[in-house]
A and B are shown apart, each in its own frame.
Chain A
Amino acid sequence: MIHQYKLGDYNIVLDVCSGSVHAVDEIAYDIIAMFESADRRTVLAAMGEKYPQVSLEELETCYEQILGLKQAGKLFAPDTFEPMAGKLKQKTAGVVKALCLHIAHTCNLNCSYCFASQGKYHGERAVMSYEVGKQALDFLMEHSGTRRNLEVDFFGGEPLMNFQVVKDLVAYARSVEKEKGKNFRFTLTTNGVLVDDDVIEWANRECSNVVLSLDGRKEIHDKFRVDFAGNGSWEKIVPKFQKFVEARGGRDYYMRGTFTHANPDFLKDIEKMLELGFTELSMEPVVCAEDDPSALTEADLPVVMEQYEKLAQLMLKRDKEGKPFTFYHYMIDLTGGPCIYKRISGCGSGTEYMAVTPWGDLYPCHQFVGEERFKLGDIWNGVTNTQVQDEFAACNVYAHPECRDCWARLYCSGGCAANAYHATGSVTGVYEYGCKLFRKRMECAIMAAVHRALGE
């Protein structure tokens, strides 16, 4: 399977199964489009008609080049991966390598678009105790097999509302990781309200990554990200985030924004983030019910698509000006990215990744917390709801019938199970709106990678 598209100044041909990417001229682009459906003579005759100024010899040369790529497995490579789809999960069955610790099911902001319903996840407000958190870390170490790198994300709600427990848990993990042969990588996700020098110093020492929530322009951010009195948080958090990021001294961070129906023109928000001095950026489409006023609509779709293209152009322009920035979804490493096992295995939720509630219950991921049917078990007894876990274990890219014909399937691995469930009622469904955005992002990311690879 191939995917052809034109973007920027490029005609791009992606060979889906080999992962090969080709930048081609118009003639090659047209020949490739016909290559599998017509014989050589028909193709050359059609090209002779379309390009009368090009000699038959030249057209034949181009045809031969394409044939050569096919023979080398770099064009029209077949999908032979399906039998391997469950193998990685089988091999690592029972192994957990990442936990999302819901350290606080409460928040000091009241963002109406929050998928976690202001941190409460449709339940009671609560904070995780040290004992529960410690047991969660022990559970992770015990169930991580030979896996050395263990990821733990402090999430909420707002985790800094329970900062002492966060610090104590990290101290505990550091005290045992060496003897257990593990390496913890901590991430803190925060809305910034409680960020102070103590938090900055601690996070820069202990967290391999921090995710800082900022939606961009003040008027956009303050539309949703308000406190319980309705006051916007932008003025309060931006100086803190600037200080935080400066103090990180090159360690990973993301400014993470959400865009909604209120700002499908989110490029302006990205530009605001850049203006504020932030360069590691992530901007995500809102996740909410279709009838929510902040939900993206069909009418927003062309606007959003155009924004993604303009974002890629802005990225390349800033490269040239020596002011590069990173957009999370445009990070693509064509030479060193994930292997095929990773690409077909699905996202890992419910198997290698789980979320832990303040009470120690296990869920397939943070987005399923509060959906009682998906409760997997708890950190004391492990996974007891094997039926739900099996559902997630089987949720690889080939489990989604719609993905079979999609060229982007090896870039999303079948997509987000929570999005699929909320859109269709099944974790093996697909959230088509999200797929459209994802495909556009991948087209842009690949185009930017081509531009960079060609040194243009």
Chain B
Amino acid sequence: MEHIKTIETRNLCESAKNGGCGECQTSCQSACKTSCGIANQKCESK
């Protein structure tokens, strides 16, 4: 019986090894301008 379905996600711990290029968009620059969300940002190096 399948109790758990694991969704494919970017491994954040792994991203510590190769992340940090800083090319991504500044956090609220484009749309909302009144809150900080980073989950909806694209990674520019992927």
Q: Is the CB of A453 within 8 A of B34?
A: no
Q: Check if A37 is an interface residue, CB within 8 A of chain B.
A: no
Q: Known contacts A87-B20, A284-B35, A340-B16; decide if A20 and B9 are in contact (CB<8 Å).
A: yes
Please give, as numbers and ranges, the residues of chain B lying within 8 Å of A153 by CB-CB distance. Answer: 29-30
Question: Which single residue of chain B is at the shortest CB-CB distance from A145?
Answer: B22
Please give, as numbers and ranges, the residues of chain A lying within 8 Å of B3 by CB-CB distance. Answer: 24-25, 27-28, 61-62, 65
Least Cβ distance of A455 to chain B in Å? 11
Q: Is the CB of B29 within 8 A of A100?
A: yes
Q: Which of A62-91 contact B (CB under 8 A)?
A: 62, 65-66, 69, 73-74, 77, 80-81, 84, 87-88, 91
Residues on B facing A (Cβ under 8 Å): 1-13, 15-16, 18-20, 22-44, 46
Query: Please, how many angstroms separate the alpha-carbon atoms of A338 and B20 in the complex?
Result: 9
Residue from the list A19, A65, A349, A416 in contact with B35, Cβ < 8 A:
A416
Q: Is the CB of A28 within 8 A of B4?
A: yes
Q: Is the CB of B23 within 8 A of A149?
A: yes
Please give, as numbers and ranges, the residues of chain B lying within 8 Å of A365 by CB-CB distance. Answer: 28
Residue from the list B5, B16, B35 in contact with A419, Cβ < 8 A:
B35
Residue from the list A23, A87, A340, A438 in contact with B12, Cβ < 8 A:
A340
Least Cβ distance of B3 to chain A in Å? 4
Query: Please, how many angstroms separate the alpha-carbon atoms of A347 and B38 in the complex?
Result: 8
Interface of B, secondary structure class, is loop
On chain A, which size bracket covers the interface? 35 or more
Q: Is the CB of B29 within 8 A of A88?
A: no
Q: Check if A353 is an interface residue, CB within 8 A of chain B.
A: yes
Please give, as numbers and ranges, the residues of chain B lying within 8 Å of A73 by CB-CB distance. Answer: 11, 13
Q: Is the CB of B15 within 8 A of A340?
A: yes
Q: Is the CB of B31 within 8 A of A254?
A: yes
Residues on A facing B (Cβ under 8 Å): 17-25, 27-28, 58, 61-62, 65-66, 69, 73-74, 77, 80-81, 84, 87-88, 91-92, 95, 97-98, 100, 115, 147-149, 151, 153, 155, 187, 189, 209, 211, 254, 256, 282, 284-285, 287, 328-343, 346-349, 352-353, 365-367, 410-419, 434, 438, 441-442, 445, 449-450, 453-454
Please give, as numbers and ranges, the residues of chain B lying within 8 Å of A282 by CB-CB distance. Answer: 31-32
Q: Is the CB of A335 within 8 A of B10?
A: yes
Residue from the list B7, B18, B26 in contact with A453, Cβ < 8 A:
B7
Please give, as numbers and ranges, the residues of chain A lying within 8 Å of B20 by CB-CB distance. Answer: 87-88, 91, 339, 341-342
